[in-house]
Structure 1
């Protein structure tokens, strides 16, 4: 009965059935959060864990059927590693190796030439959760003085139970599309600690509805505009026959509207986390904060003219996970650039085995380096600083935004087209303009600095 209804619904919406199932499942998270608030908040932790496990498994089965077994295998293996190997480096390395190899094998055996909603989608979220769990458990062996402030919040001092681990992994607010959160945060949720009213369910209905409303607006924008900018158009003779400026404009608009697919899912999912209480983040300046599970800073995403600003506003929890568990743990390398490159390479492989992911993240690295050099040049040059603060700023801002979104789309082309022959066709048609632009900027930046920044002025800036 459900299948024909879903088929009709997907046809009326003009969306693939897997996408409709995913959206319905994310929305069901709000219903689950309401059940938890009204009927289970004062129940024992065992009952709450069971509810999270059952609801999460039901949502997983609804979307992926018997393929849900892949997640259960990885959760059980991870639990056994915690119990049998203890708080050891061997356990951490074993966890990382097993979970990543399982995910990569899934990518290999399910790979197609387009983006599909399949079991590997939530599994990549689960992979980070389980690797993070092993690292947090390992940190629990250390003295508090040896831990950073982040590690103190997430370190596990006791062995979690199987039910606890399953509840953490299958929690309805984060199982399908994220966000990432720690087991300690989940434990605080189940204990009733994540609330602005001690001992009572949180007053989070309005904050949750605000995120839902914002996510719904983004979903509508995606549904209305993205059909005009399909990925498949890149591979047509018609696209290649268009003028150069048109091809670039298409990339810019394609990226702008296409990213709303991710924005809408993350923001709507965040709303269910806020409703349950998991989004509670304490009090700042006398106001209760509900952004602990924020995966998007939508205002920053829409207004920043900087690539660094977009990265800071997009997929926040995954980036924070990578910073905490990869970048900062590579401190022993003694080189921030090497740590940065390694972190980006890990994220590229985590996304999948296609060459497009590696190219996308390598482009991100180049762009961020050039942007930081450009910012330092403007800051250290009195002439450029004066120009940036002049009446020309609105015009400069518009130009920055055009460059920002054009090359954001340029970087995302291989990310979305995956295969070498597909993204190479597109890049060739626009003459690799992104690589030419940023490599040229990288090469001439030292000469611009020599011409525009005097050593005396630079030393004065440093002293200030």
Structure 2
């Protein structure tokens, strides 16, 4: 079957595996239209349809025989442990089993020196780990008292064990199997039986319990994904992160090097935009992602989104940037790690943050570059929180008044700084090795370290106290505390994850 892809491989210069992955994502569109035509009154057929499509991709296209068996093992262990173990440690047993197995395969990938052009089991396994661990926590929440649950836990709790066929259908949901976005079990269940539409008594043009506009939104995403893919294919070969290590790059002035690096990373992100947007569109075609209607009555389909390219490339602040990148992975880390490691009755703190960063790094892979990025991400998160808590209140306008020039300047500086910092700290994520990462940072004159560490030193040696004094004098600290219903400045308790720059092919993998 590989011979079928030879012309595309020769025309694009991509690997056979990369072409296969894009073909899978594109074929998911017509297959999604077939999936939605299976009557919702026969959910078993929909489960089997999804399983069959994913098995065809795994076994016929990628010949991933041993990998498929490993994925099945993870699924079966999770299903039966969650069903039979009713103790409070059940979610952690599944979490460490699934994440530990993934880490073993990450190490094997590094040991054999597999390049990003190779699609193997770890890409799909990363998505599956999110599904399995979330499912375990949802089952655990279904056994707890409702008054002990927060809003997310209450809405996603599972009170009845699904059949094995249902669970397999959930795990092998074909549009997002290889690159995500991952979905929660209750969302999959409502997709299969169309509960999300029936509960609101939605009737489409043909009288089905299905909101109109699905195909229009889905195929728009397909076009956008192909545009991102085209940019990456045309430009990425010449302008990519590895160029920073070339001799001619070192000969440029520092300012040119910093500016060029921003461009290189933007081009590199296009491959993530491509596969995530293609996957989102295919998911919408199956009926996933419906989020209601606009005031004019138009349906909206934002629930399957995993990234917002515009908000990532031009964010209003660092918090906004992180919320716009790999959204589903951030939700997983927040709900299944950050909140779960925090002792009951206590607020999440530095320890919860570092455990979450560690889990994210392990989930991404075994290369040292991931750990360099997430260690830096911890410092960036702290610095961003301090800026938001101590500087932002000084430039906020009074209620009912327009934003001042100072607020506009604050927003502009925040946007430019967020872009420059996130591009800097993800350099090791792109280069992966210790030597190349350090050399890359050296060629950028360590500008990110200087900004981040300099900011932390400023706040901790007296800057925070000084700025709080200015807030008190301006009468804004009390106002901010009153508005937020707490005695801490706005943003003080907000936890934001570092950008989860996942391994996605060609595209590599997620």
- Provide the TM-score with structure 2 as the length reference: 0.83
- Aligned twin of 1:157: 159
Matches within 5 A, 1:38-437: 38=37, 40-42=38-40, 44-61=42-59, 62-66=61-65, 67-85=67-85, 87-111=86-110, 112=113, 114-116=115-117, 117-195=119-197, 196-197=202-203, 199-203=208-212, 204-283=214-293, 285=295, 288-332=299-343, 334-381=347-394, 389-390=404-405, 393=408, 400-437=414-451
1:145–1:396 CA distance, 2 compared to 1 (3 A): closer
Point out the structure with the larger helix share.
1
1:299–1:427 CA distance, 2 compared to 1 (3 A): closer
Q: Distance in 2 between matches of 1:444 and 1:404?
A: 18
- Aligned twin of 1:461: 479
- 2:486 is the counterpart of 1:450: no
- Aligned twin of 2:18: 19
CA contact (8 A) 2:24 2:57 kept: yes
Question: Secondary structure of 1:194's partner?
Answer: helix
CA contact (8 A) 2:41 2:193 kept: no
CA contact (8 A) 1:355 1:419 kept: yes
- Over aligned residues, Cα RMSD in angstroms? 2.7
Q: Distance in 2 between matches of 1:448 and 1:94?
A: 42
1:57–1:383 CA distance, 2 compared to 1 (3 A): closer
1:163–1:450 CA distance, 2 compared to 1 (3 A): same
- Provide the TM-score with structure 1 as the length reference: 0.91
- Aligned twin of 1:441: 455
CA contact (8 A) 1:356 1:416 kept: yes
Cα deviation per residue 1:340-390 (whole Å; 9 max; x = unaligned)? 222122111110122211221222222232223223344333699999832
Q: Distance in 1 between matches of 2:294 and 2:332?
A: 23
CA contact (8 A) 1:113 1:418 kept: no
Q: Post-superposition shift, 1:129?
A: 0.7
Q: Which has the higher contact order (CA 8 A, sep 6+)?
A: 2
CA contact (8 A) 2:369 2:433 kept: yes
User: 353-362 or 22-31, which moves further after superposition?
Assistant: 353-362
Q: Distance in 2 between matches of 1:212 and 1:355?
A: 34
User: 374-383 or 16-25, which moves further after superposition?
Assistant: 374-383
List gaps (5 residues or longer) in structure 1.
Answer: none
1:256–1:305 CA distance, 2 compared to 1 (3 A): farther
CA contact (8 A) 1:270 1:293 kept: yes
Cα deviation per residue 1:211-262 (whole Å; 9 max; x = unaligned)? 2222222222222322222233233333333332232122211111111111
